[in-house]
Amino acid sequence: MPKISNYIRNQKYACFYIFLSILLFLSFSFKLDTKKELAFQFFNQDSVEIAVQEVLGADSSLIRYKSRVKTPVCEGKICYEVELIFYWNLVGDFVNYELIPGKPLTKRKHEPFTAADYQKLTELLADKEPPFLNLKKEELVVKLDAVTGATVASIKGQTIEGAVYSCYTLWQIANGEVIDRIQRHTLQNMDKRIVRNIMAINSSDADYFLLNNFKKADFVNFTSEIQVLIKRSKGYFAKNAIEKMPDELFSNLEIQTFFSEQYPLLTYYAQTALLERLQNRTISNQLSKTLIENLTGDQYQNQLILRLATFNPEKFNDPAIRKLAKKLIINTYDK
């Protein structure tokens, strides 16, 4: 009899220790996952909790964000749940979404989304100015009777028929407050790897995100990166970058060599901005040669180059000065 009692008691202890070990393991695992992946969480204007996680690359650097979102979609008094995994890049742009297995999206009357519907939803969520941007939720549908309604004419055919409320609700999540919070989290963790991951997005928004958030020290620490951005830039980016770069960089030989190579490729406005930043500064032989070789008929630019020649007489030889003077005289005479 004592043997049976001891056996039962030992079995109870064994079960207790197994149960305790499982609890400790789950608790420890949860803490590890939370500490490692959770970037931030908040409640949006519809009181939906948004928990955003970091997505790390092979080198353990932050490459994007994701969130599994469950939100109610209401049409009048009828509500149903929609659940998706959202993905954003490092500057808060919506990238794509992922369906939860066993939870497809449906339209009115529980009609499942078609492949074309899913594609349309992707396009709408990525659109910064969707057709319903300036509409309130109650303005999406015009009531036909007490129980039915039709999409308003201004957006009909531009959303998913039978799922306009879903499109509207999901767009607000993908493009709402989360953008600002993502950008703040990215800036708080900015390092060289993240800067390069943002550059790899290769979009105007991403490039300007870096430019607008770089401090003076960042331009010095990321000199090679800012050169890449200027080299591949379009529009006014190069001009804006030149105007924002700290003064001391324009005396740097590496930067002057870079601009001597890029000067012919810059827009007129970027060239002018560069010439203005170079004033009263010692420039390299290579840069002075580039400026003379690329003289144009623009009198203001030529005057700026003449001032540089006056400040750097040893860098501009007699033929160069004569060429510059001739340009100025001809342009003055032509006017």
Could you read off the pLDDT of 154-208 as tens digits, one per residue?
677 788 988 999 999 999 999 999 999 999 999 999 999 999 999 999 999 999 9
Indicate if the pLDDT at residue 3 is higher than 60: no
Average pLDDT for residues 239-263, to the nearest whole number? 97
The string of DSSP codes covering 143-184 is ESSSS-EEE-TTTTTTS-TT-HHHHHHHHHHHHSTHHHHHHH
Joined tokens for residue 265 = 């490729």
8 confidence band (pLDDT: 50, 70, 90): very low
Give me the pLDDT at residue 143, please.
58
More confident residue, 148 or 296: 296
319 confidence band (pLDDT: 50, 70, 90): confident
291 confidence band (pLDDT: 50, 70, 90): very high
Q: Dihedral angle at the C-alpha atoms of 153, 157, 158, 160, nearest 10 degrees?
A: 110
Indicate if the pLDDT at residue 121 is higher than 70: yes
Task: List the single range of 115-124, 145-154, 196-205 with lowest mean pLDDT.
Answer: 145-154
147 confidence band (pLDDT: 50, 70, 90): very low
pLDDT in tens, 29-52: 333 333 458 999 999 988 999 999
- Cβ contacts of 77 within 8 Å, gap of 6 or more: none
What are the domain boundaries of the chain?
A: 2-37, 44-178, 230-334
- Cβ contacts of 109 within 8 Å, gap of 6 or more: 162
**Which pTM was predicted?**
0.81
Give me the pLDDT at residue 11, please.
54
Give me the pLDDT at residue 189, please.
95
Give me the pLDDT at residue 263, please.
97
Give me the pLDDT at residue 138, please.
79
Do 151 and 139 meet the contact criterion of CB atoms below 8 Å apart?
no
Average pLDDT for residues 98-123, to the nearest whole number? 94
Closest CA to 283 of 263, 317, 256, 310: 256
Give me the pLDDT at residue 24, please.
43
More confident residue, 218 or 45: 218
pLDDT in tens, 219-245: 999 999 999 999 999 889 999 999 999
Give me the pLDDT at residue 75, please.
76
Give me the pLDDT at residue 196, please.
97
Average pLDDT, the chain: 86
Conformational region of residue 235, where left means phi above 0, alpha means psi within -120 to 50, and beta covers everything else: left
More confident residue, 261 or 25: 261
